[in-house]
């Protein structure tokens, strides 16, 4: 870890806990700051706050009192999930107080370079692929951000020979100032998180911050099929490295005659790749670009692509039972993600879908239901999904209580050669604590079916 006196004897407020807040508070305490932590969860129910208090850090729990702004803080480190419309955050910015996220803090103390990955979809898969390829190629990667441990905790332990591979959300990127990845990746850009961001433009601007500090010695790996993303590449000072599953880019990654190619060099035939779907091919092209720039050999890349079936809960292969393949895509908490999963399969699909009703309809799913021969619905949004299924000509429709009962119901509707896909197109919170819990229950039901 880089030694710095930047925070020595500075009064700093860490707003919001979870992993990133705990890590940031502990690091700042070690750096000699006078740290106060503020979290909405009551102290009696807050083991993270209790642990920080034991370290000698001041803790205020139960609410975000606006009066904290009168205590003379010089910096706020904000949990990414807390919006900028929060009265405390808004008041701080009106006073001219600097507000950063924990990623910025991690960058300032890290001795290792960063590979930063952002985009609307595909971040987790791309991040995991890069990590696995670097590891297989002997490049000593560490994984951080949304997918792993908090960035500042990883940065504390990182040595110069490591590479920190970090998945970054727009929420995190809004709070950076100096953060400068050696390689930045933009997987794609669609409308998302407009309940947090005031507009699509603000969301896009937040994403673009991943490359704002890059220099001509660094690289911006981007989706060349999206005009808005390509325009970001034109504005970036970094070397542009495009990727595309449909176009040829001499200075990037592309597919030609069934071969995945990077800058004219054949890397692997796509028939050897086990991860399904065009969207995953784009994720793979991005990951290969990064790893070739980092000097990873083709054999290491091939080995990962021949064995990598996906990250948990994202079009994750679970099992084959009586020639029916089961896939867990519980992370598909919106229509776009479910559409991408459905477009991955040419086989007949039994779709398991439903969950929290956010007030939207599901008509945008219709073009992706061509291979769906039956649908099993559950949760608050079940009736809306059933309407869309009926209007798409699907006659096999069954409603069940939950994901656990959806699995045997789907199996009864299936035939040999079918794929049974959990891709809910909805958040899980009407029935499950998280999409991870929902996916775990699905997988447990599949294994029980065995």
Q: Which segments within 161-271 are labelled E, that is strand? A: 163-167, 183-186, 219-223, 239-243, 253-256, 259-262, 265-269
* Annotated binding-site members: 119-125
Q: What is the DSSP letter of 299?
A: H
CA distance 438 to 137: 34
CB neighbour burial string for 245-254, b if at least 16 within 10 angstroms, e if fewer:
beeebeebbb
Q: How many residues does the chain have?
A: 450
CA distance 447 to 395: 28
Beta bridge partners of 374: 350, 396
> Could you tell me which residues come within 8 angstroms of residue 359 by beta carbon, excluding any fewer than 6 positions away?
none
* Annotated binding-site members for ATP: 119-125
CA distance 327 to 9: 52
Say if residues 178 and 215 touch (Cβ distance below 8 Å): no
CA distance 425 to 356: 9
- Dig out the tokens for 60 from the structure: 């205020």
């Amino acid at each position: 870890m880089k030694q710095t006196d930047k925070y020595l004897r500075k009064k700093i407020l860490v707003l919001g806990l979870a992993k990133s807040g705990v890590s940031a508070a502990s690091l700042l305490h070690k750096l000699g700051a006078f740290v106060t932590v503020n979290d909405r969860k009551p102290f009696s129910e807050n083991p993270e706050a209790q642990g920080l208090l034991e370290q000698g850090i001041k803790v205020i729990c139960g609410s975000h009192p606006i009066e904290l702004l009168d205590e003379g803080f010089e910096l706020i480190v904000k949990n990414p999930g807390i919006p900028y419309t929060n009265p405390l955050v808004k008041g701080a910015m009106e006073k001219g107080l600097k507000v950063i996220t924990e990623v910025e803090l991690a960058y300032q103390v890290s001795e290792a370079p960063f590979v930063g990955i952002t985009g609307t979809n595909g971040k987790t898969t791309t991040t995991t692929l890069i990590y696995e390829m670097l590891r297989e190629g002997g490049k000593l990667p560490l994984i951080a951000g949304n997918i792993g441990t908090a960035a500042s905790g990883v940065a504390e332990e990182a040595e110069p020979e490591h590479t920190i591979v970090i998945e970054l959300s727009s929420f995190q990127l809004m709070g950076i100032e100096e953060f400068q990845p050696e390689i930045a990746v933009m997987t794609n850009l669609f409308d998302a998180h407009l309940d947090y961001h005031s507009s699509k433009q603000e969301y896009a601007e937040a994403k673009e911050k991943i490359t704002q500090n890059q220099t001509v010695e660094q690289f911006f790996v981007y989706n060349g099929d999206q005009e808005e993303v390509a325009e970001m590449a034109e504005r970036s000072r970094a070397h542009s490295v495009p990727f595309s599953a449909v176009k040829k880019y001499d200075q990037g990654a592309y597919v030609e005659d069934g071969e995945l190619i990077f800058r004219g060099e054949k890397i692997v035939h796509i028939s050897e790749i086990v991860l399904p779907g065009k969207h995953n091919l784009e994720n793979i092209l991005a990951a290969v670009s990064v790893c070739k720039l980092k000097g990873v050999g083709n054999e290491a890349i091939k080995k990962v692509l021949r064995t990598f079936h996906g990250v948990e809960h994202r079009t994750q292969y679970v099992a084959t039972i009586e020639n029916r393949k089961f896939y867990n895509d519980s992370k598909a908490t919106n229509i776009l993600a479910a559409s991408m999963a459905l477009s991955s399969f040419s086989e007949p699909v039994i779709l398991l879908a439903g969950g929290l009703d956010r007030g939207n309809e599901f008509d945008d799913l219709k073009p992706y239901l061509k291979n769906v021969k039956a649908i099993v619905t559950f949760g608050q949004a079940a009736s809306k999904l059933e309407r869309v299924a009926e209007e798409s000509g699907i006659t096999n429709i069954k409603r069940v209580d939950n994901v656990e009962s959806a699995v045997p119901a789907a199996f009864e509707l299936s035939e040999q050669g079918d794929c049974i896909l959990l891709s809910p197109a909805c958040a899980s919170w009407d029935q499950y604590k998280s999409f991870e819990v929902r996916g775990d229950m699905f997988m447990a039901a599949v294994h029980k079916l065995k």
